A and B are shown apart, each in its own frame.
Chain A
Amino acid sequence: MTPAGHFFSYYDILLLGRGFLTTLALALIGCLAGCAAGFAAAILRTTHSRTPAPVRAALIAYCMLFRRVPFLVTLMLVFFAIQSMNANLSTFAVALISIFLISTAYLSEIARGGLESVHENQWQAARAMNFTHWQTLRLVVVPQAWRVILPPAFGFFVMFIKDTALASQIGVMELTSAGKVLGNKGLSAALVYGTILLLYFLMSYPLSRFGKRVEGKLAAARNH
Chain B
Amino acid sequence: MPLLEITDVKASYGSHMVLEHINLHVDKGEVVSLIGPSGSGKSTLLRLIVGLLPLAGGSVRLNGGIVDYASKAAVRALRSDIAIVFQQYNLFQNMTVIDNVTIAPTKIKRRPRTEVEPYALELLARVGLSHRLNSYPSELSGGQQQRVAIARALALRPKILLLDEITAALDPELVSEVLGTIRELSSDGITMLIVSHEMSFVREVSSRVVFMAEGRIVEAGAPRQIFDAPLQARTREFVGKILRH
Contact = CB atoms under 8 A, between A and B. Distances in A.
A128 B94 contact: no
A49 B108 CA distance: 22
B104 A131 contact: yes
A118 to B, nearest CB: 8
Given A135-B107, A222-B136, A130 B76 contact: yes
B7 interface: no
A122 B92 CA distance: 6
Given A121-B86, A140-B94, A127 B52 contact: yes
Contacts, number: 51
B138 A130 contact: no
A211 to B, nearest CB: 20
A122 B50 CA distance: 16
B107 A144 contact: no
B83 A129 contact: yes
A19 to B, nearest CB: 42
A128 B107 contact: no
Nearest to A146: B94
A223 B108 CA distance: 26
Contacts of B76: 130
B232 interface: no
Contacts of B94: 140, 143-144, 222
Nearest to A141: B94
A82 B165 CA distance: 62
B80 interface: yes
B92 A124 contact: no
Contacts of B92: 122, 125-126, 139-140
B141 to A, nearest CB: 15
Contacts of A139: 92, 103, 107
Contacts of A143: 94
Contacts of A128: 50, 52, 79, 83-84
B142 to A, nearest CB: 14
A124 B136 contact: no
Contacts of A126: 92
Interface size class of B (residues with CB under 8 A): 20 to 34
A108 B127 CA distance: 42
Interface in B75-119: 76, 79-80, 83-84, 86, 88, 90-94, 103-104, 107-109
Contacts of B88: 121
A139 B139 CA distance: 20
Contacts of A131: 104, 108
A135 B90 contact: no
B156 interface: yes
Interface string A110-132: 00000000010110111111110
Given A135-B107, A143-B94, A222-B138, A129 B86 contact: no
Interface in A78-131: 119, 121-122, 124-131
Contact of B80 (A125, A127, A130): A130
Given A124-B86, A129-B156, A222-B138, A135 B108 contact: yes
Contacts of A135: 107-108
Interface string A1-36: 000000000000000000000000000000000000
Contacts of A144: 93-94
Nearest to A138: B107
12 contacts: A121-B88, A122-B93, A124-B52, A128-B79, A129-B83, A130-B79, A131-B104, A131-B108, A135-B108, A140-B94, A143-B94, A223-B136
Q: Which 10 A/B pairs are nearest by Cβ-Cβ distance?
A: A125-B90, A143-B94, A129-B104, A121-B90, A144-B94, A130-B79, A128-B84, A130-B108, A140-B92, A130-B76
